[in-house]
Amino acid sequence: MLPVGGRAAQGVEREGSGAMKSRSRSAWTHARRRVRRLFTRPLAALTASLAPPFYMLYMRLVWSTSRVDLGNFGELQKLCDAHDGAVALLWHEEVFTVAYGYWWAGIRGHTLASRGDVGEVITRLLLRCGYTVFRGGSTTSRSRHRDGVIDDLVAHMRDHHGVLYGLTVDGSKGPAYRMKTGGIVVAGTCGKPIALVRTWYRYSLRLPTWDRTAIPLPFNWIAYSYRGPYFAPESLSDGAAVERFRNELEDDLVDLAAESYALMGLPRPANLVKRLPAPAIATPQGA
């Protein structure tokens, strides 16, 4: 058994040791971040320069060697022209082809990109594909808070004519094939119609991401699809009406994707399903 004084001394020694370890970890973390910046900044600049031309070359190879069916996709631009703007909604799994695929189809979209290094790469790529890109937010989770992004999208659409957004409604983290309400809010606030769109392909590589992003291969079959228009409820403050509308859009977008898989003779993903309807509430007899 230690005397009381010995215990106190031991406690001071332990506290001192803990403080030293904490300062050591802090110094190591700071040094590691500085070293990481030394490497990541030049690498980000190189990527921003090289990625867009490589993307364009690859996508031109894919489209030029493939059978491409536009279907009724031309209706999307007509819808935008008729209403001086529109919001197109799609699933995140096809995001790789949006920039080039829409440009090839004659669509000149508008979009938001962050101010960070990744945003710079995306911005340069989109500009090559004829997009109007405005920068907003950053790569930090706080700055990318959804309300702020929606405000940026609404402000841009209100301030410019002919804005046609293409929004991945289950991004950026999923779950896959489950629609968020951001696109509905943007369209409803600005009084613009909504379209559901799809670009799909028979042969692709699937990345090991949450949405299994698809990269089309050359010598392919590529098909575009369009469904709409839809109009958001007049009052976005009516939560029940917005939720019913979201469910309708989600079901139709699930159907549109399922049709594209069937068209290509591909198995439908197990999670590409509609939500189960809410259970009915039994009414007591005599009520």
pTM value is 0.78
Q: Which residue has the tokens 């935008």?
A: 80
Average pLDDT (170-181) is 90
pLDDT given at position 12:
47
Average pLDDT (44-48) is 61
CB 243 within 8 A of CB 179: no
Q: Which residue has the higher pLDDT, 286 or 182?
A: 182
- In this predicted structure, the answer to whether residue 143 has a pLDDT above a threshold of 70 is no
Average pLDDT (79-108) is 94
The answer for residues whose C-beta is within 8 angstroms of residue 190's C-beta and 6 or more apart is 85, 154, 157, 158
Of 10-14, 76-80, 92-96, least confident by mean pLDDT is 10-14
pLDDT given at position 229:
97
**Paired sense of beta strands 194-201 and 85-90, if any:** parallel
Quote the percentage of the chain above a pLDDT of 90.
Answer: 57
Q: Which residue has the higher pLDDT, 68 or 280?
A: 68
pLDDT given at position 97:
93
pLDDT tens for each residue of 153-167:
999 999 999 999 999
pLDDT tens for each residue of 61-78:
999 999 999 999 999 999
Domains of the chain, residue spans: 60-263
Left (φ > 0), alpha (ψ -120 to 50) or beta: where does 236 sit? alpha
pLDDT given at position 106:
92
The angle formed by the CA atoms of residues 272, 277 and 281, to the nearest 5 degrees, is 165
Mean pLDDT of all residues belonging to the chain: 83
Q: Which residue has the higher pLDDT, 224 or 138?
A: 224
pLDDT tens for each residue of 233-277:
989 999 999 999 999 999 999 999 999 999 999 999 999 999 877
- In this predicted structure, the answer to whether residue 17 has a pLDDT above a threshold of 70 is no
